[in-house]
A and B are shown apart, each in its own frame.
Chain A
Amino acid sequence: MMVARLAALCAAVCLTAAEAGAAQRQAGDGGYLPDSGSPFGAAPAVADPATIPMPDLAFKGDGTEASDFDKYYAFRRADTDFATAYADIAECDGYARGLQSGVGYMQPAYPYAGTLAGAAGGVIGNLMVAAIFGSAEKRRMRRVNMRTCMAYKGYDRHGLPKAVWEKFNFEEGLSGVDDAKRQTYLRQQARVASAGTLQGKALGL
């Protein structure tokens, strides 16, 4: 029942792989916009994707793990190489990091300058609101944005038990995840997204 509702709602908000694959040039079609790509720049180069370890994705379910599939999952898209998957996941991570709980931001009246190493894609401000809404809401919003972005890109979502998910994923609440650790996880997620064997059916959006 829930899967059916998910599928119905997804039909309204995201392109399916079939639609995307069938995309044809139309009358007046001027091609892709030059800035259709990631606004966060290219993902860091990976010389040999084969060196990125593939997480162990196998599990024996007891029937209860599905209740947490809203939180614990992996993305997968057929016919996608590692570099593409890494670029896609890194872009979605850019939209999903440094979130401000979805509410509250005050625009600075004047230009601000400083050195904010590693703050790309995020924003400053609204931290007081984050403290009010708390870490859980920020973690939830990260999941919302990752699911939205990856669905737009045509990836399916497959549920995982938490113990499997934790091997190559991270949550991000009030405290951030340093960039080296973040990229390690994102690369593993890209390995899974491009070549992983995920059991269980696709959950859609």
Chain B
Amino acid sequence: MSRVAIAAIAVALLSTAAVPLAAKEKPPVFRETAAVKDKPGALALDPAKAYILLRSTDQTGLYLFKVPTAEDQATYDRLRADAFNEARQKFAKKLAGYEAGLKASRDNPRLSKPEKPVEPTNANFAFTPFALLTGVAIGPTNRFAKAGFSTYLQEVTPGTYRIYGPISVLPNGAMSGACYCMGSVRFDARPGEITDLGIVPAPKPQVRPDGDSSWPGAWDGQAPFADASTAMPLDPRLSAARTVRAAFRPVGKMPNLFGLQVSRLPEMAGVMRYDRDRIVDLTGK
């Protein structure tokens, strides 16, 4: 498929994102999420929802993906299989049209030869990755509290979440930041409780060396997710809620789904380290 065709599809996606392109049934919801707003008074948690808490000296953004459960994966696989079958059926029709057009062009040299359709196969069939259906963008706006430091509280569907990177999604959908494509961590967010990620380090100012137009910068190198209890005390509105420190586990590599700068989470003592680019599990589990 040509780049022009891909561009056309992308533009179509951007303009018709509210319309299912493949599934005829109502699409499944793998996760729901919303920022908890900054309102006075104690917070009443929904016992069916999980809450993710993070704190930072500055406004910051953090992007997560929900890790599929076995049920999620089965649903996703079925969706893909249905879409693949539909694509095969469409291909059969297109192929018939192509063959008819080809015969017509042979019979009448003034007719142009049609372009042969691409046959969908399991190898070339592209389906939206599961991760792109389960993103959770926290910050940089919609802070739960902003006195002295920034507190973010995000309501999510309970489950396991992977930290994809310090990525900010602006209200217009624009994204900036870097993906932790080459190493990161996951954690569980359980219903009825707040999972505290700790402190998300604010990005350091980037000083590009003179003459180096493609300096990668220093996206990592700062200790991630340090305990926030002393430096950035819990907001009093959350004091009655059950808050637990996130238990991090390492996760492997992922594609650069948003086409951003590539990076990785800095090493975390007792959780993970790197041997060159290979990720070593230090949790002992």
Contacts and interface: CB of A to CB of B under 8 A. Distances in A.
A115 interface: yes
A35 B285 CA distance: 16
Contacts of A98: 256, 259
A9 B270 CA distance: 25
A143 B126 contact: no
A200 interface: no
Chain A binding surface SS class = loop
Interface string B197-230: 0000000000001111111111111000000000
A100 B255 contact: no
Contacts of B14: 106, 125, 128
A4 B254 CA distance: 32
A167 B70 CA distance: 48
Interface stretch (A55-63, A147-155, A186-194): A147-155
A163 interface: no
Contacts of B256: 94-96, 98-99, 121, 123, 145
Contacts of B13: 106, 108, 112, 124-125
Interface in A56-102: 67, 70-71, 94-96, 98-102
B21 A113 contact: yes
B124 A117 contact: yes
Contact of A35 (B124, B251, B276): B251
Given A13-B219, A110-B27, A111-B79, A122 B259 contact: yes
Contacts of B115: none
B87 interface: yes
Interface residues of A, number: 75
Contacts of B238: none
Given A6-B209, A125-B10, A112 B253 contact: no
A144 B252 CA distance: 21
A6 B212 contact: yes
A38 B215 CA distance: 23
B11 A94 contact: no
B125 A13 contact: no
Contacts of A175: 3
Contact of A12 (B215, B221, B264): B221
Nearest to B126: A116
A34 B279 CA distance: 9
Interface string A10-52: 0011010000100100111111111111111000000000000
A154 B279 CA distance: 14
B281 A140 contact: no
Interface in B243-267: 250-264
A70 B9 contact: no
B1 interface: yes
A153 B284 CA distance: 24
Given A23-B276, A36-B278, A124-B13, 7 more contacts: A12-B218, A94-B256, A98-B259, A104-B175, A111-B128, A111-B133, A175-B3
Interface of B: 1, 3, 6-7, 9-11, 13-14, 17-23, 27, 79-80, 83-84, 86-87, 118-120, 124-128, 132-133, 135, 173-176, 181-182, 209-221, 250-264, 270, 273-285
- Closest 4 CB pairs between A and B? A35-B252, A100-B259, A28-B284, A143-B214
27 contacts: A13-B217, A23-B276, A23-B280, A29-B284, A33-B281, A35-B252, A39-B252, A70-B212, A71-B214, A99-B260, A102-B261, A107-B173, A111-B83, A111-B128, A112-B13, A113-B86, A114-B125, A115-B125, A116-B124, A117-B1, A122-B259, A125-B10, A126-B259, A127-B11, A141-B261, A152-B264, A205-B216
